[in-house]
Amino acid sequence: MIPAAFDYKRPASVDDALKAISGGDAKVIAGGQSLLPLLKMRLASADTLVDIGRLSDLRGMREQADGGYEIGALTTYADIIAGTKLSWVAEAVEAIGDVQVRNRGTVGGSISHCDPASDLPAIALALDYSAVLRSVRGERVVPLDGFFEGAFQTGAAPDELLIAIRRGPLPDGAQGAYRQLEQPASCYSIVGIAAVVASSGGSISHARIGITGVGEVPYRAKAVEDALVGSDGSPAAVSAAADHAADGQTVNSDIHADRDYRSHMAVVYTRRAIEAALGR
């Protein structure tokens, strides 16, 4: 299909891009793996398409002075696979989509698009990332926990550009894992679970669980986290915590998995992700 007509701008700098989206119905395009199909099917439209794909300032992965980490919005999945020091993240990202998606799809595109079944937001939630948003009015940093407001809807204002995601240092000894039940044809997650845990003195001292594919948006399973922290991390404790994976969620039901099946798989894969992060 052919999209509706639109104007096209390719800004030469981040400041130019911010000016281009400061007024009117403008949409930002980077890798184009999500937006272009929507435009072609006329499920989305734009007066102006602002192409930021060549803004090198928005690409790259950087360690921060406090031991944290920042990933530029134009960093591709392939860049993450090649550059991350977290082997479980590389393994998880390598399973996203196909080669074209991994070479063209960007971190900023995935976070901004807010697909309910996208893998990267769950991973970023488990790692406590925040969105770095910039507009002509200034810059603000917003935790991703709460940033995803609805299917394909985030807390970013229309004139704000996601320029990076940023996190603080991970707790000592933190380990992670990602486990998913994917739809074979599309590779989207029916259920996707990212777990980051750390132990101290024989008990779990830190737990972050990011879940995608289950509810309307990717979310942190805080009831699971609360049940894990302070526990001994035994199989029984992990199983009891995982039972809370879908607490508070309106669980999706579609042609790939009905609500009961998806709810059960959320529990199963949460348990598997936590066990993998604990090294079992």
* pLDDT tens per residue across span 210-246: 999 999 999 999 999 999 999 999 999 999 999 999 9
* pLDDT for position 34: 78
Would you say residue 270 has pLDDT above 90?
A: yes
- As given in the structure block, the two tokens for residue 229 are 């922290």
pLDDT in tens, 21-62: 997 788 898 887 777 777 787 777 778 889 999 999 999 999
Strands 48-51 and 7-9: parallel
Alpha-carbon span 268 to 160, nearest angstrom = 38
Query: What distance in Å separates the CA atoms of residue 252 and residue 211, rounded to the nearest whole number?
Result: 13
Mean pLDDT, the chain, integer: 94
Distance CA 125, CA 248 (A): 17
pLDDT tens sequence across 72-83: 999 999 999 999
The whole-number pLDDT of residue 38 equals 75
CA 120-261-221 angle, to 5 degrees, is: 45
Give all domains of the chain, ordered by start, each with its CATH number: 7-51 (3.30.43.10), 56-167 (3.30.465.10), 175-277 (3.30.390.50)
Question: Which pLDDT does position 149 carry in this prediction?
Answer: 97
**Whole-number Å distance between alpha carbons of 264 and 3:** 40
Do the strands 161-167 and 130-135 form a parallel or antiparallel pair, or are they unpaired?
antiparallel
Handedness of CA 142, 217, 164, 57 (dihedral sign): negative
4 and 43 Cβ atoms separated by less than 8 Å: no
Distance CA 253, CA 251 (A): 7
Structure tokens at 262: 């998806």
